[in-house]
Amino acid sequence: MGEFVRLEVVDGVATLRLDRPKMNALDSAMQEEIRAAAREATERDDVKAVVVWGGERVFAAGADVKEMADMSYTDMVKRSGELQACFSAVAKIPKPVVAAVNGYALGGGCELALCADVRIAAENAVFGQPEILLGIIPGAGGTQRLTRLVGPSKAKDLIFTGRFVKADEALAIGLADRVVPAEEVYDEAVKWASQFTAAASFALRAAKEAVDKGIEVDLETGLEIERQQFAALFATEDRAIGMGSFVEHGPGKAQFVGR
């Protein structure tokens, strides 16, 4: 457990909790704690799905600008790769991941939310990539993940202007997947994640990898990725359980074992 980031597991659902008052500013130490928590969530067999949450007030208001202001070009050459790796560790968790977004998700906070598979936002949530207003660009995946999520035109509008996006617009452009009252965000995220606590974990892992890797390549290559993942699942115990249960009892009654 880190100073500002902790992983709490209840009934198969892990909460990757950001807790650096007042605004969860993502300095380099906190970034490393996020990476460590993501690795733990990846490695633990009792974790079936993950909720990324910054608390009731704010998701994360961005990187620690005071820390960055004193960094030189050579400093950032050394740090930028590690910065991306810390966020990518969340994106690479081979389990369903949902971001529960209350309040601000700006700059690095927005980029962290983009690493999740699904984003559930509060009615008071505000997203944005305002780095351009500091004379820089998003550096933790914003130019890439945001573009893949909402398309290049909308991504350029947000990145070029640095403007803030309220929850209703975020939902309309696909930046958020669901908008709920602020007091319901975390519970809704846990509810979504809980769907997968008894699921076929290797099939979920294969599905996530096929989608995430397939979107980066041409259709033919993507289909080959899918074919390989599909065929590989026939080596799992859960595949035999699932098909046997379907034949005997119909759909939705299999009791998977995660192997």
Q: SS3 string of the chain?
A: CCCCEEEEEECCEEEEEECCCCCCCECHHHHHHHHHHHHHHHHCCCCCEEEEECCCCCCECCECHHHHHCCCHHHHHHHHHHHHHHHHHHHCCCCCEEEEECCEEECHHHHHHHCCCEEEEECCCEEECHHHHHCCCCCCCHHHHHHHHHCHHHHHHHHHHCCEEEHHHHHHHCCCCEEECHHHHHHHHHHHHHCCCCCCHHHHHHHHHHHHHHCCCCHHHHHHHHHHHHHHHHHCHHHHHHHHHHHHHCCCCCCCCCC
Point out the residues that are catalytic.
63, 108, 111, 131
Q: What is the per-residue pLDDT across 96-126, written as a single tens digit (0 to 9) for each?
A: 999 999 999 999 999 999 999 999 999 999 9
Q: Which CATH class is domain 5-194?
A: alpha beta
Residue 1 has pLDDT above 80, yes or no: no
Average pLDDT estimate for 186-207: 97
Residue 63 has pLDDT above 90, yes or no: no
Residue 95 has pLDDT above 90, yes or no: yes
Superfamily of domain 201-249: Lyase 2-enoyl-coa Hydratase, Chain  A, domain 2 (1.10.12.10)
Q: Residue ranges per domain, the chain?
A: 5-194, 201-249
